[in-house]
Amino acid sequence: MSQTQQQIQEQVDGLVYKLKRRQLAGSYKVAIETAQLLMRLITMARWKNTDQLIELIRDAGRQLIAAQPREFASGNIVRRVLSLIRDESLEMDREKPDIDKNTAMMSSMFSLLSTTDTKNQQQHSPSDAKQRTQDLRSLVIQGIRDLMDEISAVHENIELMSIDLIHDNEVLLTPTPNSQTVLNFLLKARQKRKFTVLVTECFPNHTEDAHKFVKKLADAKIDTVLIPDSTVFAVMSRVGKVIIGARSVFVNGGCVSTSGVAAVTECAKEHRTPVFTVAGLYKLSPTYPFDNDSLIEVGNSGKVIDYSDQDLVGRCEVTNPLMDYIDPENIDIYITNVGGFSPNFIYRIVLDNYKSDDVNL
């Protein structure tokens, strides 16, 4: 077993180092890679019962989260897979004839309330057990494949709603030009509607992305205006809707997005302008955003003050937070690939896709 354990550890380490070195950045890539890693782990690992498998995945998940604590996508995927495993395992148990109905019902109630330790250990004969693990393995791997498909298809589902939400001759504002989801959303809407988009330039972290974003929109024949971040309040009175992309969505309905977006949403609230957030389901995290520090990544101070500026370097404190936390009160609708929801309903979606046991890995 130790040899496989070593192999497993190596696989996990590979992804962990990539995360630590930030060679892998962006929720989409991280999610896909995590899913692939978990698939490999499940193929390689040997386990006797479900609990061992769950423990294995949890361990890997802990390491991945510790590698980049502010990248929630990896944790989300791990939790989705865990929930998948538990579901499949339960399904299989239900199908087995030698379990009486009472235990079946009790185990489903139990699974809501109990922790893994007190879970009922099913007794099976060795050959059955082997068969069971085989089945479980293939089911889970299939499930992960479905999950990966879902992640790749996120944009298509979100785009479908775009036409219903935007009307002609509208002025939209988007303060997150680094979001691929928002870009696809707007491009799809353009097919049926004509509108103007104001794009903030997100200086200093995403200005290049903003320029590329503007170019792409312009190529699709959308009237685009590039505005500096400070101009947001000035133009807000003429903006019809604000569309933002999120990096991560939390169970209370708040989200984490690019820095500067919090001020924009507050501004929108003041002017009673609706705010949409577009995010794929894989960005939804069952954790609660208690502590601001643990959510916000602080980036390179060299982007705020040039390192060659000798008057200021070392004499002024400089900080460059990369993200902002946005209150649920400032958001009107979340648009995900499973539909649109208001922020107070997000907890329900979380319950559908994750198990409460897995929230603390």
Partner 1 sequence: MSEGTKPETSQLSNKELKELKKKEKAAKRAAKKESIGIKPDSSQRRGGDKPKTASNIKKQINQSKTQSESLKIPPLFGHLETREQRISSTPPQLANIVHPSILTLCLKYSTFKIVGSTHRCQAMLEAFKDVIESYKTPEGTSLSRHLTGHLSHQIEYLKSARPLSTSMGNTIRWLKQEISLISIDETDEQAKLILAEKIDVYIKEKIEYANIAITDSTIQHIVDGSTVLTFGHSQVLLHIFKHVATELNRKFKLVIVDSRPLFEGKKLATELSGYPNISCQYVFINSLSSILQEPVDVVLLGAHAMLSNGRLYSRVGTALIAMSAHKRDIPVLVCCQSIKFSDKVQLDSVTMNELSEGQDLLTMGSKPTKRNGFALDQFLKEKRTEKEEESKGKKNSNNNNNSSNSVPLTKPEDPLANYREIDNVTILNIMYDLTPPEYIQKVITEVGSLPPSSVPVILREYKGNSSNS
Partner 2 sequence: MPPKNKKQKEIVQDERLQAIILTDSYQTRFEPVSSQSPRCLLPLANVPLIEYTLEFLANSGVDEVYVMCRSHASQIQDYLEKSKWSQRNSPFKIQTVLSLESRSVGDAMRDLDNRGLITGDFVLISGDVVTNMSLEPVLKTHRQRRSQDKDHMLTMVLMEASPYHRSRSNTEPATFMVDRATGKCLYYEQIGGAKKAVSIDPELLVGVDEFEIRNDLVDCHVDICAPQVPLIFQENFDYQELRNDFVRGILASDILQKTVYAHITNQYAARVESWSTYHAISQDIMERWTYPVAPESNVIDGTSYIHMGEHIYKENDVILAQTSKLQRCVVIGGGSFVGAETNIVCSCVGKNVRIGEGVQLKNSYIWDDVILENGVEATGAVVASGAIIRAGARLLPGAIVGFNEEVPAGAEVAASESEMPQLEVSEYAAHDDGLFDLSDTSITSLPGTGSRRKGRTLSTTSYYSEYDSDADGLRDEDDFDKEAMATVTRSMENNHDLDTALLELNTLRMSMNVSYHELRLATTKALLARIEHFVATQTLPLTEATNKIFRKWGLLFRRQVFETEEQIDLLNVLQEQCLALENRSDGASILMRALYILYDEDIVEEDQIYAWWDAPESNASEELIEVKAPTGKWVQWLREAEEESD
User: Phi and psi of 341, rounded to 5°?
Assistant: -140, 155
Q: Are 355 and 83 in contact (CB under 8 A)?
A: yes
Say whether residue 207 binds partner 2 (CB under 8 A). no
Cis peptide before 204 (omega within 30 of 0): yes
Which residue stretch of 103-111, 241-249, 278-286, 314-322 sits at the interface with partner 1 (rule: CB under 8 A)? 314-322
- Give min distance, CB of 30 to partner 1, in A: 23
Among positions 229, 240, 328, 356, the unique one binding partner 1 when judged by CB under 8 A = 229
Task: Give the footprint of partner 2 on residues 58-87 (CB under 8 A).
Answer: 66-67, 69
Left if phi > 0, otherwise alpha if psi is -120 to 50, otherwise beta: which for 312? alpha
Sites for partner 2 among residues 3-22 (CB under 8 A):
10-11, 13-14, 17, 20-22
Residue 69 near which of partner 2, partner 1, none (CB within 5-8 Å, type-dependent)? partner 2
Q: Is 164 in the site for partner 2 (CB under 8 A)?
A: no
The verdict on 314 binding partner 2 (CB under 8 A) reads yes
CB of 22 to partner 2, least distance (A): 5
Stretch that binds partner 1, among 56-64, 78-86, 102-110, 320-328 (CB under 8 A): 320-328
CA triplet 154, 155, 159: central angle to 5 degrees? 125
- The binder of 22, among partner 1, partner 2, none, by C-beta within 5 to 8 A per type, is partner 2
Q: Taking CB under 8 A as the rule, does residue 318 contact partner 2? A: yes
CA distance 282 to 186: 21
Q: How far is the CB of 173 from partner 1 (least distance, A)?
A: 12
User: What token pair was written down for 140?
Assistant: 């889970």
Q: Which two tokens stand for residue 138?
A: 């293939």
User: Three-class SS of residue 224?
Assistant: strand
Closest contact distance (angstroms) between CB of 25 and partner 2 is 9
| Of 47, 325, 341, 347, the one binding partner 1 by CB under 8 A | 325
DSSP state of 125: -
- Tell me whether strands 275-278 and 241-245 are parallel, antiparallel or unpaired: parallel
Residue 149 binding target from partner 2, partner 1, none, CB below 5 to 8 Å by type: none
* Residue 176 contacts which entry, partner 1, partner 2, none (Cβ below 5-8 A, type-dependent): none
Q: Which residues contact 105 (CB under 8 A, 6 or more apart)?
A: none
How far CA 109 is from CA of 106, 113, 286, in Å, comes to 5, 7, 21
φ, ψ dihedrals at 342, nearest 5°: -90, 160
Q: Is 36 in the site for partner 2 (CB under 8 A)?
A: no
Give the closest residue to 268 by CA, choosing from 205, 200, 216, 204: 200
Q: Report CA torsion sign: 305, 306, 312, 315.
A: positive
Give 128's contacts (C-beta < 8 A, 6+ positions apart): none
Out of partner 1, partner 2, none, what residue 227 binds, judged by CB under 5 to 8 A for its kind, is partner 1
The binding track of 239-278 with respect to partner 1, each residue x by CB under 8 A or -, is: -------------------xxx-xx--xx--x--------
Cβ neighbours of residue 309 closer than 8 Å, sequence gap 6 or more: none
Please give the structure tokens belonging to residue 227: 């505005």
Residue 187 touching partner 1 (CB under 8 A): no
Q: Which H/E stretch holds residue 255?
A: strand 255-258
Closer to partner 1 by CB, 245 or 286: give it: 245
Asked if 180 touches partner 1 (CB under 8 A), the answer is no
Q: Can you give the binding site for partner 2, defined by CB under 8 A?
A: 10-11, 13-14, 17, 20-23, 66-67, 69, 293-294, 298-302, 306-310, 313-314, 317-320
Q: Can you give the binding site for partner 1, defined by CB under 8 A?
A: 171, 196, 198, 201-205, 207-208, 211-212, 214-215, 217-218, 221-235, 237-238, 258-260, 262-263, 266-267, 270, 292, 296, 303-306, 309, 311-312, 315-321, 324-325
